Structure 1
Amino acid sequence: MDRLQRSAWQYVAEVLPPEELPMLAAHALVDGRDSPALRELAGLPRRSDATEIRELYVQALHELGVPLPDKEAAGRRLLVSLAVGLVHAELSPEGVVDRLSSALAARTPEEARFLSVAAQYSEWMGADEVPGWENDLRAAAHSLTASTDLGSEAVG
């Protein structure tokens, strides 16, 4: 999966802020992708109008034939990417919680379990409760990554 395809689900899952899209477009140009909207987006400063950035990004994806997934598919990919990040020690358990999004969706029992355990975290948990929660989250992450057909693209 290339950078733009990965960015499409991250964008829909609301984990890719608009100010990162101009640099993403510049990298896509370096990777050999090209379209008028992509070039225009790559030339914008990070602090440009967020609406203009979003519109150019969506237009560039359209011009390049990269579809935007629906919210459910994007949320499921986000769940898997969080699980993969935890399994590969690229994310901490708290880092997983910090990256949860309102776009998350769970269709399988493994996805539901991972989301459920992640949602149990609270900054008011006692020090004796955190290790058990972390172990439960890691176990749920392993179960999810072993059962998924959604790929293993980590959240960047």
Structure 2
Amino acid sequence: MSPKESAADDLQDLAALWSIGEARAHDVVEVACAALVAGLDSPALRILAGYTRAEAENEVPDLLPAVLDELDLVYYPRDSEAGQEAVLRALAHQLPAGKLTPRELASRVHQLFGHQLPKAERLAELDDEYDIIEYGDRTLAELDAAVTAEARTLAHNRLDHGQPS
């Protein structure tokens, strides 16, 4: 994956996380700066990258849809199922990046979506298994491996920088 593609993926993931309140507006600005450095460019991206921390909170909601549109990325409306699935993929990407452990991923997904999002159901079930591990028939290593496998599947289900499937 090229630096530009990686930056586009990072921006897409953070935009999805931001859309459900899981990332701060100034985090979006920081990723926009990194995207410019990586070679992505658009008029709205340049404006977004120039916001201060204080401006970010008020300006990101209005500008982010334009940035994503100019870069051929997807803006997910707040609380849409497609947006929730994008957040699920974004969280799954954090496991191989070392930002989350398998247990943290399963717990976070379970907290966010419970058993309500079909594509997140397996991780929610695995989080339940972590809670009763001393009574279950799986070891911690087996649970971690199952979460890692599920995260890998979810992370690879992305098409064209997060376009809905």
Structure 1 and Structure 2 fold alike (TM over 0.5): yes
Counterpart amino acid of residue 107 in structure 1: P
Say yes or no: does 1:8 pair with 2:15: yes
Q: Which runs of 5+ in 2 are unaligned?
A: none
Matched residue, 2:85: 76
Pick closer, same or farther for the CA change 1:145–1:49 going to 2, 3 Å: closer
RMSD over equivalenced CA pairs, Å: 3.9
Matched residue, 2:104: 95
Cα distance in structure 2, aligned partners of 1:98 and 1:148: 17
Counterpart amino acid of residue 127 in structure 2: A
Say yes or no: does 1:45 pair with 2:52: yes
Corresponding residue SS for 2:54: coil
Matched residue, 2:122: 113
Question: Any conservation in 2 of the 1:11–1:17 contact (CA below 8 Å)?
Answer: yes
Pick closer, same or farther for the CA change 1:92–1:140 going to 2, 3 Å: closer
Greater relative contact order (CA < 8 Å, ≥ 6 in sequence): 1
> How many corresponding residue pairs?
147
Q: Which moved more, 1:62-71 or 1:38-47?
A: 62-71
Cα distance in structure 1, aligned partners of 2:23 and 2:81: 16
Q: Which runs of 5+ in 1 are unaligned?
A: none
Shift of residue 24, structure 1, vs aligned partner = 1.4
Pick closer, same or farther for the CA change 1:28–1:128 going to 2, 3 Å: same
Cα distance in structure 2, aligned partners of 1:147 and 1:25: 24
Cα distance in structure 1, aligned partners of 2:24 and 2:30: 11
Question: Any conservation in 2 of the 1:114–1:137 contact (CA below 8 Å)?
Answer: no
Shift of residue 139, structure 1, vs aligned partner = 1.7
Cα distance in structure 2, aligned partners of 1:128 and 1:30: 48
Question: Any conservation in 1 of the 2:48–2:60 contact (CA below 8 Å)?
Answer: yes
How does the TM-score come out when normalised to structure 2?
Answer: 0.61
